[in-house]
């Protein structure tokens, strides 16, 4: 079988078969012999790689199909609200995550095999901003339980856990040590990346579910663990990691002007730190180090203001007048890894360089040079190579960088003061696969305090935690989590939504009437049965659809609809706190969503209907169709020729034993 080469705008797309191919490579597909095959098309739902790559388990394909108009809203909902509802099943922060998440979903996108990924984050940002502007709210739970759950920590993990558990009807109280909720979204990321109004709106939407909040309350100090256990039926620890790791070089922990990146950003975001230093060295290579360096460039320094280290230690305050003359800070960022291997997002690295930050990659700190006043005056470094995560010094390459302020952003840990009974000895909390705290019945944990990672990772763990807490409170076995542990699209829920749910099955019992008995025993297939979903198989909990399973030749070359960003030069950065990302408009949002290939799910292209030589495949009647049930097969006509599976762009059709 051969397919003509398809060229669009001088861009070649892909062939499924080439001239001369006459045999299927798959062993299972070799059982095909013209009209003697017993195989017929089965519609197989699998998880797309975007969702499989997303730590919060977003049904990305689902809400992209809503945005592009494939899956239609029910009732009088707009497509924007319907997409928002689907999106927030997994993640209640679409406006924020659409801005700051490094989007591992886009790295996993099968569209990368054609020309470029789908801009998933940009679509998420549009929906999130639209929801905020139009005051979309979450539906309150239909039934409330009498169970009380304490959430310790009001960051992304804690808020997400509170949201998921409140939707299940439980009574939630959040205990937050700081003055405001938000965690690292508020205290760890500057406002030009996370707009404060957007964050406040999304937090308030969660709290509107009836969640109680107690701020300025530290568990282990203001309230004991014993009191928590007496007053609550379950406890979720989401305390984050708000302490920086010291740089493990001689002198760093002794010098007064050597600080941690987490503490630096918190002081800035609280409005305390208003001046950096004339010369700053930031050690890191991840997003936190980029934020520290970028903030330093934006606030600069004011001659005569208190040193930054005195502000962080509480010895002094910054009361810098608005009309004070600010000068540029000379900022250097160092990384063990070469530039292309730094863990920070590529666009963040590019922005940093454009804004005048000098990045020295592939270098390792050796020691601090400290004067008689206990202040570091320089850092000694050398070039290095990496053996995995271990730097190897390159002899004879030592050099020094002089500076007034040194900030380490190389990792974080939790503040476990008063919580020693759950400390694993490394300032983290150990958890099992269900995020239950080791040897603490009724205690669960999520977020950075398990292992520092992405905001979306904490949110994904919160979903698993909420399932575990709900099972625990219900007295049920948590069970085994699926191999692909995400928020799956449910065809049965979709059918129910459209009043198409299968009828109850009536088996072969003595009191079964003749009609049902004849139907069940006389015809064991399900092609005409109303109690089953015919020729459909759900493998989404077990398999992720790979690009080799798709018919990529169906998709023409289509460039991305990229959102714009405000590119700030080195001479413009001082005092510039404008948001950099510019949201797509409605038209470009829908166009970008339209590039999604709907991997593992029908998107109504009609290829199987058009190419079936036996007219065995047909469109489901309008009053019976919904997402995932657009086409069906007449097995009396099907000869098992395999053509429908070959031309299915999304890998939704597989040949299997017919019923």
The H helix count followed by the E strand count for the chain is 20, 25
Structure tokens at 329: 């800070």
| Mean pLDDT, residues 27-46 taken together | 69
Structure tokens at 86: 């689907």
> SS3 letters for 470-506?
HHHHHCCCCCCCCCCCCCCCCHHHHHHHCCCCCCCCC
* CA separation for the pair 621, 631 (Å, rounded): 9
Could you tell me the CA-to-CA distances from 621 to 74, 231, 626, 631, 632 in Å, in that order? 18, 55, 10, 9, 10
pLDDT of residue 25: 65
pLDDT of residue 29: 58
> SS3 letters for 324-387?
CCEECCEEEEEECCCHHHCCCCHHHHHHHHHCCCEEEECEEEEEEEECCCCCEEEEEEEEEEEE
8-state DSSP, 25: S
* CA separation for the pair 291, 187 (Å, rounded): 12
pLDDT of residue 10: 55
* CA separation for the pair 244, 257 (Å, rounded): 14
Indicate the pLDDT class of residue 9, thresholds 50, 70 and 90: low
Indicate whether 376 pLDDT > 70.
yes
Indicate the pLDDT class of residue 636, thresholds 50, 70 and 90: confident
DSSP 539-556: -TTT-B--GGGS-GGGSP
57 contact partners, CB below 8 Å, separation of at least 6: 51, 90, 460, 463, 485, 486, 487
**CATH superfamily to which 245-411 belongs:** FAD/NAD(P)-binding domain (3.50.50.60)
Secondary structure (3-state) at 446 = coil
- Outline where 136-286 has alpha helix (H): 156-167, 184-187, 196-207, 225-231, 261-269
Strands 399-402 and 301-302: unpaired
pLDDT of residue 508: 54
DSSP 76-132: T--HHHHHHHHHTTT-S-HHHHHHH---HHHHH-GGGGTT----HHHHHHHHHHHHH
* CA separation for the pair 621, 24 (Å, rounded): 33
Q: Which contacts qualify for 107-113: CB closer than 8 Å, 24 or more apart? A: 107/53, 108/49, 108/50, 108/52, 108/53, 108/54, 109/49, 109/50, 110/48, 110/49, 110/50, 110/545, 110/546, 110/547, 110/550, 110/597, 110/599, 111/555, 111/595, 111/596, 111/597, 113/14, 113/547, 113/552
Domain boundaries, the chain: 7-58+490-657, 148-242+414-474, 245-411
63 contact partners, CB below 8 Å, separation of at least 6: 83, 86, 87, 123, 127
pLDDT of residue 7: 47
Indicate the pLDDT class of residue 613, thresholds 50, 70 and 90: very high
Give one word for 283, left, alpha or beta, with left for phi > 0 and alpha for psi -120 to 50.
beta
**First and final CA of the chain: distance in angstroms?**
28
Q: Mean pLDDT check: name the lowest of 51-60, 192-201, 462-471, 519-528.
A: 519-528
Q: Mean pLDDT check: name the lowest of 31-40, 219-228, 258-267.
A: 31-40
**pLDDT digit string, tens, across residues 470-527:** 999 999 988 888 999 999 999 989 888 888 888 887 765 444 444 444 444 545 567 6
* CA separation for the pair 397, 477 (Å, rounded): 59
Positive/negative CA dihedral, 36, 537, 57, 99:
positive
Mean pLDDT of the chain: 91
Residue 71, classified by CB atoms within 10 Å of its CB into exposed (0-12), middle (13-18) or buried (19+), is buried
Strands 279-284 and 330-335: parallel
Indicate the pLDDT class of residue 528, thresholds 50, 70 and 90: confident
Strands 631-633 and 617-619: antiparallel
- Outline where 500-606 has alpha helix (H): 514-522, 586-593
CA atoms within 13 A on the CB side of 47: 24
Indicate the pLDDT class of residue 255, thresholds 50, 70 and 90: very high
Q: Which residues of 34-47 are buried (b: 16+ CB within 10 A; e: fewer)?
A: eeebebbbbbbbbb
Q: CA-based angle 276:278:279, to the nearest 5?
A: 100
pTM: 0.92
* CA separation for the pair 358, 331 (Å, rounded): 6
Asked whether 552 and 8 are in contact (CB, 8 A), the reply is no
The CATH fold assigned to 148-242+414-474 is FAD/NAD(P)-binding domain (3.50.50)
pLDDT of residue 4: 43
Residues paired with residue 359 on neighbouring β-strands, in sequence order: 333
Indicate whether 37 pLDDT > 70.
no
Question: Do 245-411 and 148-242+414-474 fall under one CATH topology?
Answer: yes
Closest C-alpha to 138, from 196, 210, 195: 210
8-state DSSP, 565: B
Q: Which residues of 319-344 are buried (b: 16+ CB within 10 A; e: fewer)?
A: ebeeeeebeebbbbbbbbbeeeebeb
Tokens 């406006």 map to which residue? 95
Which has the higher per-residue pLDDT, 344 or 526? 344
Asked whether 66 and 594 are in contact (CB, 8 A), the reply is no
Strands 279-284 and 412-413: unpaired
């Amino acid at each position: 079988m051969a397919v003509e080469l398809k060229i669009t705008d001088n861009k070649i797309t892909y062939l499924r078969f080439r001239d001369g191919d006459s045999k299927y490579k798959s062993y299972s597909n070799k059982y095909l012999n013209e009209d003697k095959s017993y195989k017929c098309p089965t519609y197989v739902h699998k998880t797309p790689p975007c969702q499989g790559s997303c730590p919060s388990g977003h049904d990305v394909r689902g809400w992209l199909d809503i945005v592009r108009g494939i899956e239609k809203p029910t009732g009088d909902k707009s497509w924007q609200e319907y997409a928002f509802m689907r999106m927030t099943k997994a993640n209640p922060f679409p406006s924020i995550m659409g801005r700051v998440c490094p989007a591992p979903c886009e790295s996993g996108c099968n569209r990368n095999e054609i020309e470029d990924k789908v801009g998933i984050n940009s679509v998420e940002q549009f929906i999130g901003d639209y929801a905020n502007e139009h005051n979309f709210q979450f539906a309150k739970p239909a039934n409330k339980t009498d169970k009380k759950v304490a959430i310790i920590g009001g960051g992304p993990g804690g808020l997400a856990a509170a949201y998921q558990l409140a939707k299940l009807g439980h009574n939630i109280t959040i205990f937050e040590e700081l003055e405001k909720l938000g965690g690292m979204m508020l205290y760890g990321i500057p406002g030009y990346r996370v707009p404060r109004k957007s964050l406040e709106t999304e937090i308030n939407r969660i709290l509107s579910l009836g969640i109680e909040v107690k701020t300025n309350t530290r568990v282990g100090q203001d309230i004991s663990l014993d009191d928590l256990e007496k007053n609550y039926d379950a406890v979720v620890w989401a305390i984050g990691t708000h302490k920086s790791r010291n740089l493990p070089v001689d002198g760093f922990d002794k010098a007064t002007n050597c600080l941690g990146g987490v503490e630096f950003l918190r002081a800035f975001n609280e409005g305390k730190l208003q001046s950096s230093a004339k010369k700053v060295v930031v050690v890191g290579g991840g997003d936190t180090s980029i934020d520290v360096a970028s903030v330093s460039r934006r606030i600069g320094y004011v001659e005569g203001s208190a040193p930054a280290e005195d502000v962080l230690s509480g010895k002094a305050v910054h009361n810098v007048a608005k009309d004070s003359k600010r000068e540029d800070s000379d900022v250097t960022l160092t990384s063990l890894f070469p530039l292309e291997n730094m863990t920070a997002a590529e666009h963040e690295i590019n922005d940093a360089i454009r804004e005048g930050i000098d990045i020295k990659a592939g270098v390792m700190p050796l020691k601090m040079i400290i004067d008689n006043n206990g202040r570091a005056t320089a850092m000694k470094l050398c070039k290095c190579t990496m053996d995995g995560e271990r730097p190897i010094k390159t002899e004879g390459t030592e050099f020094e960088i002089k500076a007034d302020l040194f900030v380490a952003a190389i990792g974080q840990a939790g503040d476990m003061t008063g919580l020693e009974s759950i400390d694993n000895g490394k300032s983290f909390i150990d958890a099992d696969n269900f995020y239950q705290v080791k040897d603490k019945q009724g205690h669960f944990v999520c977020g950075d305090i398990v292992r520092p990672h992405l905001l979306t990772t904490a949110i994904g763990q919160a979903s698993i935690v909420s399932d575990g807490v709900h099972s625990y409170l219900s007295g049920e076995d948590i069970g085994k989590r699926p191999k692909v542990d995400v928020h799956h699209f449910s065809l049965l829920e979709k059918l129910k939504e459209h009043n198409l749910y299968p009828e109850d099955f009536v088996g072969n019992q003595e009191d079964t009437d003749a009609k049902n008995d004849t139907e069940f025993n006389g015809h064991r297939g399900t092609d005409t049965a109303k109690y089953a979903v015919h020729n459909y198989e759900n493998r989404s909990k077990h398999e992720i659809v790979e690009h080799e399973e798709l018919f990529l030749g169906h998709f023409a070359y289509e460039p991305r609809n990229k959102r714009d960003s405000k590119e700030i030069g080195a001479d413009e950065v001082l005092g510039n706190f404008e948001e950099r990302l510019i949201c797509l408009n409605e038209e470009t949002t829908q166009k970008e969503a339209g590039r999604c290939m709907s991997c593992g799910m029908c998107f109504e292209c009609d290829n199987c209907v058009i190419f079936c030589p036996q007219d065995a495949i047909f469109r489901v009647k309008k009053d019976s169709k919904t997402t995932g049930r657009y086409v069906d097969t007449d097995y009396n006509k099907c000869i098992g020729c395999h053509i429908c599976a070959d031309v299915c762009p999304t890998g939704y059709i597989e040949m299997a034993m017919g019923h």
